[in-house]
Chains A and B, each alone.
Chain A
Amino acid sequence: MSAMSSPIEIDDEAAIVARARLGDAKAFSELLRRYEGKIFRLALHITQNREDAEDVLQEAFLKAYEHLDQFQGQSKFYTWIVRIAVNQALMKLRKRKSDRSVSLDETIDTGEDTVAREIAAWDENPEQRYSREELNQILSSAVDDLAPIYRAVFVLRDVDELSTEETAEALNLSVPAVKSRLLRARLQLRDKLTRQFKRKGEDAFAYM
């Protein structure tokens, strides 16, 4: 510990991870409590099946516990466990669709999907028209309509707010691959949400 405590400020999380690595069960439970919701949500978006997502959640944390000594501490703990969870989730998908392999690294068709179809201004505060529950439903089903190769990139980058580099690391993709997927995901979601949130009637084109 003493070698690590030289910086003026020790990141709270780095300290928790260090304690967990020394076998402190409470410290590992704290990491689990912090990230179980996010890992479950990500697993659910990739597998689109609650049972599979729960399996992924368990497998990811058990594997993380088992291999904690391999975590280098150069990246965030979250980035590291996302990588484990994504691998588990892809394995589930492959098992389910045993006839074809599933990968986040498929080449993407760069044609039609960046073309914006719905062009209309939104209501001033569309969020306020809906309850939190309804809004959540709208937002997560829009994500679920995306192709699998876009979902994980979008959730990590724009919902969990990882950097492009961290997202690339977590998903084992190149930075340009993350960027092109993110652009397409954002444009497709914009299209879907515009159908929900656009101003009605003439007002929709008031910007012209």
Chain B
Amino acid sequence: MLTCRQFLDELSDYLDEKTDPDLRSKLEQHISDCPNCWVICDTTKKTIRIYKGMDPYPIPADMHARLMTALEHKMAKKG
């Protein structure tokens, strides 16, 4: 039987599906017995999901323009 601490140490690999089958079944046994770890697992999964693929805002037009100017300057120098 895993302790909660041991469960948490493996949580990331478990959610990324990187644990071997033997460990995986021990982890699954633990969450079916431990409501606190079940909820931590569930909300960590939701945390990862909510961030995943979040597109950055486009950078402001003036910042893009400054970047392009600096680059053109550099290109002119490099020839």
Give the bracket for the number of chain B residues in contact with chain A: 35 or more
With A37-B59, A158-B48, A193-B50 as given contacts, are A119 and B42 in contact (CB-CB < 8 Å)? no
CA distance A40 to B56 in the complex (A): 9
Q: Give the dominant DSSP class at A's interface.
A: helix
Q: A37's closest neighbor in chain B, by CB? A: B56
Q: Are A32 and B67 in contact (CB under 8 A)?
A: yes
Give the bracket for the number of chain A residues in contact with chain B: 35 or more
Of A32, A58, A159, A183, the residue contacting B51 (CB under 8 A) is A159
Q: Are A119 and B36 in contact (CB under 8 A)?
A: yes
Q: Are B8 and A121 in contact (CB under 8 A)?
A: no
CA distance A37 to B13 in the complex (A): 29
Q: Are A57 and B52 in contact (CB under 8 A)?
A: no
Of A37, A61, A186, A194, the residue contacting B55 (CB under 8 A) is A37
Distance in Å: Cβ of A127 to nearest Cβ of chain B: 6
Q: Are B57 and A37 in contact (CB under 8 A)?
A: yes
Q: Are B63 and A121 in contact (CB under 8 A)?
A: no
Distance in Å: Cβ of A143 to nearest Cβ of chain B: 8
Distance in Å: Cβ of B12 to nearest Cβ of chain A: 4
The chain B residues found within 8 Å of chain A, CB to CB, are: 5, 8-9, 11-13, 15-16, 35-36, 38-40, 42-44, 46-48, 50-59, 63-64, 66-68, 70-71, 74-75, 78
